Amino acid sequence: MLSVNTVAPDFSLPDQNGILHSLSDYKGKKVVLYFYPKDNTGGCTKHAKGFSELKQQFDAKNTVILGVSKDSVSSHKNFETKQNLTITLLSDEEKTVISAYDVWHEKKMAGKAYMGVVRTSYLINENGLVIYASDKVKAAENPAQMLSML
């Protein structure tokens, strides 16, 4: 995980519609950049729906929400449609941004170890500096928590 007061690495990734987004596109705005393991799973759905429900409040605070996973553009489109999401989902199939933000780690489930995305949230200020970082994210609570920090 990146440390607070670190310059957030710039990136360029496609969203659920195939449109490229770069972090540098959002200079002058705050960015909630959150990483999640997989589209259409329980926790990830709660997380994305929570951000979607609060999107207008984030907009009012000049803040953009970007969700990132290693799922494909078409998987993100299906997730957006199925769950009526209103946020931007970025596809990082090559795990370049996932690696740059240090969220790809060993995880354990049912006694088996595997590599995966650790649910992590960053708040990046208008100048591209990380001002909050957490890898102890509770999917259902994180959207309101991030909003309260603005």
Rounded to 5 degrees, φ, ψ at 148 are -65, -20
Catalytic-labelled residue, pool 2, 44, 65, 137: 44
Please list, in sequence order, all residues whose beta carbon lies within 8 angstroms of the beta carbon of residue 30, skipping any fewer than 6 positions away. 61, 62, 63, 64, 123, 124, 125, 126, 150
Q: Are strands 30-35 and 20-22 parallel, antiparallel or unpaired?
A: unpaired
Residue 132, classed as helix, strand or coil, is strand
Token reading at 139: 């999917």
**Catalytic annotation present for 44:** yes
- The residues annotated with a catalytic role in the active site are 44
